């Protein structure tokens, strides 16, 4: 059985439908990339999957999360799924962390709620969670989000997301807000953790290079529609849709440009 | 990396230990008035109803601030008034804080039609003059200090509720609330862990302003005979009674005026200073 099965998902906002008839599924432990430009409906899809759409938006179709129907379900029914089954890492770690709560407490919350840890056990679990995202300094747990760097914050957000041991991790452009060197470290960390725990990963991004590194299969969204889906090599080598071809071409063009600059410099030296 | 964290942590500890000027000033002003109120419990220069002094006497060794037109000692009234002002301010703000926060949070978390109904109700209460509300309460309860406190508290709770609703709505749209919900946090968890701590600083400053407003509201209610009945002395009534003689005996108006200003300012400074202490994102920036 698949951990996530989305079929004919449509999200409506008044008369507009920013997500239309989207279908895809993830097997346990599978890694899938959802790509598309801004406004293509990627983030709304991830919110609809967890039943966290803003009130003004309505979803229809079917989203089966570990066999539970999410579309139309009451919030209280979904609460048990959020954490042990699915978790999201958001794009901007500064806004995704409560500014007035110490980082350690924010990590402790899902551990307490879902694993029932208390007291000294909870404290050591928080330390272990921070250690796992390569933040071994015990002072981090006592810090507030604004006292950390962007990369540290995103590691904390990942630690929170992984605390309840989800079977599916949704990463919504987790590195877009970070600078390039930090990006790479965070991606490696995610890659390692997903592999170690055998989690399924839904990786959302507009960056083909990043996505193809992280996932096995790609789903391309445009204007709320799935325009292409397939394995990474399929999509990258033989993009069927003009839109995908354009994404691939622009990525190639950048690579070629960089190679050329490099060659020029070597020739000059 | 760890060096930076160390620096930041020591910084914030250092700043936290150095209280701000506003906080100290607030503590001094409010503390002085609380002290006077406490002393008035055990000692007054003259009993409140003692009219043995001459009428409208200036300050002298016998009457440090002079007397009013009935020959009552002004210092005794001022001291008693401190107690009344603190009681009115504290109790009215407590009523407003509890009732207002609960109603505001209910509105913020409700379905749109419940929210709209509650908001419309709040607007009606806010548009309703405090005086009219006070007369209503007095008609039911009879004129007493507690009727005045209840009326002022009820009127102010609508203002607090509206502010709470707006602030809570804004917090609910923050991504950290969505993030907390993706961890399975329920409504109560969201309220107590995220919404209340994040709206508390703004709410506290607003409540401090309300404290001043409550003291002033009690003054006008006393004037109309809707406040604490005589021989209770309140700063508001002292001001009103001294109105006619302000040119011949100015101390009668100046003394309670300064007292009101001191208390209102003191509470505001105190709230401001406490907010700065409580808000971790401000500790470093000053």
CATH code of domain B19-48+62-283: 1.10.3720.10
Report yes or no: A83 at the B interface, CB cutoff 8 Å: yes
Contact list, B280 vs chain A (CB under 8 Å): 99-100, 144, 146-147
Q: pTM surpassing 0.80?
A: no
**Assigned domain for A156 exists:** no
**Assigned domain for A177 exists:** yes
3-state SS, residue B196: helix
Q: What is the mean pLDDT of residues A109-134?
A: 88
Where is A68: in which H helix or E strand? strand A68-69
Digit-coded pLDDT (tens) for A204-262? 988 888 888 889 999 988 888 888 888 888 888 888 788 888 878 877 787 788 788 88
**Assigned domain for A260 exists:** yes
Between residues A119 and B285, which one has the greater pLDDT? A119
What is the residue range of A72's domain? 4-85+166-268
**Assigned domain for A97 exists:** no
Q: What is the DSSP string of A22-40?
A: EEEEE-TT-EEEEE--TTS
Under the banding of pLDDT at 50, 70 and 90, the label for residue A177 is confident
| CB A107, CB A141: distance < 8 Å | yes
Is residue A160 pLDDT above 50, yes or no?
Answer: yes
Place of tokens 């002033």: B216
Interface of A with B in 88-127 (CB under 8 A): 88, 90, 92, 95-101, 109-110, 113-114
**Assigned domain for A241 exists:** yes
Nearest CB to A95: which of B12, B176, B180? B176
The two structure tokens encoding residue A204: 């959302």
Is residue A47 pLDDT above 50, yes or no?
Answer: yes
The two structure tokens encoding residue A235: 């999509």
ipTM above 0.85, yes or no: no
User: What pLDDT sits at residue B239?
Assistant: 80
Place of tokens 């300012």: B265
User: What pLDDT sits at residue B62?
Assistant: 66
Distances (CA, A) of B44 to A23, B18, B39, B81: 82, 37, 8, 12
Q: What is the chain A residue with the closest CA to B112?
A: A55
Distance from CA of B113 to the nearest CA of A (A): 13
- CB pair distance less than 8 Å for B183 and A139: no
CATH number for the domain spanning A228: value is: 3.40.50.300
Distances (CA, A) of B138 to B54, B90, B150, B227, B267: 35, 20, 10, 9, 28
User: What pLDDT sits at residue B285?
Assistant: 42
Place of tokens 């440090």: B64
Closest CA to B88 of B225, B227, B226, B255: B227
Place of tokens 């399929």: A234
User: What pLDDT sits at residue B56?
Assistant: 64
Q: Rounded to whole angstroms, how far apart are CA atoms B34 and B40?
A: 10
Q: What is the chain B residue with the closest CA to A98?
A: B176
| CB A9, CB A23: distance < 8 Å | yes
User: What pLDDT sits at residue B286?
Assistant: 37
pLDDT tens, chain B, 286 aa long: 445 555 555 444 444 545 678 888 888 898 888 988 888 787 777 777 666 666 666 667 666 667 776 667 778 888 888 888 888 889 999 999 999 999 999 999 888 888 888 888 888 888 887 778 878 888 888 778 888 888 889 889 999 999 999 999 999 988 899 888 888 888 888 999 999 999 988 898 888 888 888 888 887 787 777 777 776 778 877 887 777 777 777 777 888 888 888 888 888 888 888 777 777 766 544 3
Q: Where are the alpha helices (DSSP H) in B173-250?
A: 175-182, 187-189, 196-223, 235-242
Q: Rounded to whole angstroms, how far apart are CA atoms B124 and A3?
A: 52
Distance from CA of A65 to the nearest CA of B (A): 13
Contact list, A82 vs chain B (CB under 8 Å): 181-184
User: What pLDDT sits at residue B2?
Assistant: 47
User: What pLDDT sits at residue B93?
Assistant: 93
Digit-coded pLDDT (tens) for A49-104? 888 888 888 899 999 998 889 888 888 888 888 888 999 998 888 889 998 899 99
Ramachandran angles phi, psi of B101, nearest 5°: -65, -45
**Assigned domain for A55 exists:** yes
Under the banding of pLDDT at 50, 70 and 90, the label for residue A269 is low
């Amino acid at each position: 059985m698949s951990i996530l099965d989305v079929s004919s998902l449509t999200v409506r906002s008044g008369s507009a439908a920013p997500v239309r008839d989207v279908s895809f599924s993830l097997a346990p432990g599978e890694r899938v990339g959802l790509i598309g430009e801004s406004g293509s409906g990627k983030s709304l899809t991830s919110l609809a999957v967890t039943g966290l759409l803003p009130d003004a938006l309505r979803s229809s179709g079917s989203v089966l999360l570990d066999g539970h129907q999410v579309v139309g379900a009451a919030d209280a029914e979904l609460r048990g799924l959020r954490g042990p089954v699915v978790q999201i890492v958001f794009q901007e770690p500064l806004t995704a962390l409560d500014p007035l709560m110490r980082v350690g407490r924010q990590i402790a919350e899902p551990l307490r709620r879902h694993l029932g840890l208390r007291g000294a056990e909870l404290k050591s679990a928080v330390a272990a969670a921070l250690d796992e995202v390569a933040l071994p300094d015990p002072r981090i747990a006592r810090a507030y989000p604004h006292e950390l760097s962007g990369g540290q914050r995103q590691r904390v957000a990942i630690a929170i997301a992984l605390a309840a041991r989800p079977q599916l991790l949704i990463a919504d452009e987790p590195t877009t807000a970070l600078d390039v060197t930090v990006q790479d470290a965070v991606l490696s960390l995610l890659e390692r953790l997903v592999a170690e725990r055998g989690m399924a990963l839904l990786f959302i991004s507009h960056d083909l290079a990043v996505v193809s590194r992280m996932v096995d299969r790609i789903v391309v969204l445009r204007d709320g529609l799935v325009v292409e889906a397939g394995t990474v090599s399929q999509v990258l080598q033989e993009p069927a849709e003009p839109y995908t071809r354009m994404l691939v071409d622009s990525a190639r063009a950048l690579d070629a440009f960089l190679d050329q600059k490099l060659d020029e410099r070597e020739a000059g030296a | 990396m760890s060096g930076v964290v160390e620096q930041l942590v020591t910084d914030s500890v250092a700043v936290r230990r150095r209280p701000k000027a506003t906080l100290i000033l607030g503590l001094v002003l409010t503390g002085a008035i609380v002290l006077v109120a406490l002393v008035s419990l055990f000692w007054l220069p003259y009993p409140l109803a003692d009219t043995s002094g001459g009428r409208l006497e200036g300050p002298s060794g016998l009457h440090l601030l002079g007397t009013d037109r009935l020959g009552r000692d002004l210092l005794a009234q001022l001291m008693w008034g401190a107690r009344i002002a603190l009681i009115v301010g504290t109790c009215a703000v407590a009523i407003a804080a509890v009732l207002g926060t609960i109603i505001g949070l209910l509105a913020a978390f409700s379905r749109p039609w419940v929210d709209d109904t509650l908001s419309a109700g709040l607007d009606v209460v806010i548009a309703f003059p405090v005086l009219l509300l006070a007369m209503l309460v007095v008609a039911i309860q009879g004129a007493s200090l507690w009727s005045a406190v209840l009326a002022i508290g009820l009127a102010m709770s609508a203002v607090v509720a509206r502010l709470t609703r707006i602030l809570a709505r804004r917090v609910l749209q923050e991504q950290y609330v969505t993030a907390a919900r993706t961890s399975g946090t329920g409504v109560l968890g969201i309220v107590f862990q995220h919404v209340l701590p994040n709206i508390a600083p703004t709410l506290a400053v607003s409540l401090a302003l309300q404290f001043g407003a409550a003291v002033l509201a009690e003054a006008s209610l006393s004037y109309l005979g809707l406040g604490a009945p005589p021989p209770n002395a309140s700063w508001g009534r002292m001001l009103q009674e001294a109105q006619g003689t302000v040119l011949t005996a100015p101390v009668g108006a100046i003394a309670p005026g300064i007292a009101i200003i001191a208390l209102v300012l003191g509470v505001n400074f105190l709230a401001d200073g406490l907010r700065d202490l409580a808000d971790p994102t401000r500790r470093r920036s000053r």
